[in-house]
Amino acid sequence: MSRRSGILEFAVLGLLRESPMHGYELRKRLNTSLGVFRAFSYGTLYPCLKTLVASGWLIEEPGNTAEDALAAPLSGRRAKIVYRLTAEGKEHFEELLSQTGPDAYEDEHFAARFAFFGQTSRDVRMRVLEGRRSRLEERLEKMRASLARTRERLDDYTLELQRHGMESVEREVRWLNELIESERAGRDLKGPASGGSAQQNTTNGTPGVLPRSGDSLRPDTPGDTAT
């Protein structure tokens, strides 16, 4: 399983833990609530759902709304399928939530993990946040060293791009420091979040604010060219 598909499976299980959904509803939630998935398609989602069903973590059920009940006779199409998390799926998701290895704080996976911090225990949140901060501090150190070596050979625009990348990483480190301080003080983030999920835009670090359609939960990445 690729890292990308693993992140998608994690996010699907997390959203279905909140409530059963149609595939369309899932795609909409993934696009609007988790910026990292805004570019993916049904061609990516449905194979993921079939894999989760085959694993016993989801079950398929016929839609039970009046609209769904009329779908087949009126349009000749099959009624929408609702995906529901099984007990085994819930157990598997909770196991994934407890993991704190390097994947938990790499760029895309960290964004997905953070979106479900509301369902994650405080000690796990702390380990993931501290791991993310450590990862970014290492990245920042490499970026500074690279910039010091190549500064004289860079034109003004490339130099400005490198500085922008460094500033983006520095901002996220400061934001992580604030989150870690809040966790240590026993404070939870408060804000409008569906199903208890902590949904935060790491682009600006504002508690309880979902990313806009043009935003991403990932930090700015131009500076990664310096690593």
How sure is the predictor about 107, in pLDDT bands with cuts at 50, 70 and 90? confident
**Other residues' Cβ atoms within 10 Å of the Cβ of residue 72:** 14
Instruction: Give the residue, 168 or 212, on which the prediction is more confident.
Output: 168
Q: 86, 58 in Cβ contact below 8 A? A: yes
Dihedral (CA of 56, 14, 22, 62) sign: positive
Instruction: Give the residue, 187 or 47, on which the prediction is more confident.
Output: 47
Tell me the one-letter amino acid at 100: T
Spatial separation of the C-alpha atoms in residues 227 and 223, rounded to whole Å? 8
Measured in Å, how far apart are the chain's first and last C-alpha atoms? 26
Is residue 38 over pLDDT 80?
A: no
Q: 209, 201 in Cβ contact below 8 A? A: yes
**Other residues' Cβ atoms within 10 Å of the Cβ of residue 130:** 16
Spatial separation of the C-alpha atoms in residues 157 and 164, rounded to whole Å? 10
Is residue 220 over pLDDT 80?
A: no
Side-by-side strand order, sheet with 21-22: 21-22, 81-85, 58-62
Span 64-82, average pLDDT? 59
pLDDT at position 64: 67
Among 74, 82, 184, smallest CA distance to 129 is for 184
Mean pLDDT over each residue of the chain, to the nearest integer: 79
- Among residues of the chain, what percentage have pLDDT more than 90? 52
Is residue 227 over pLDDT 70?
A: no
pLDDT at position 218: 40
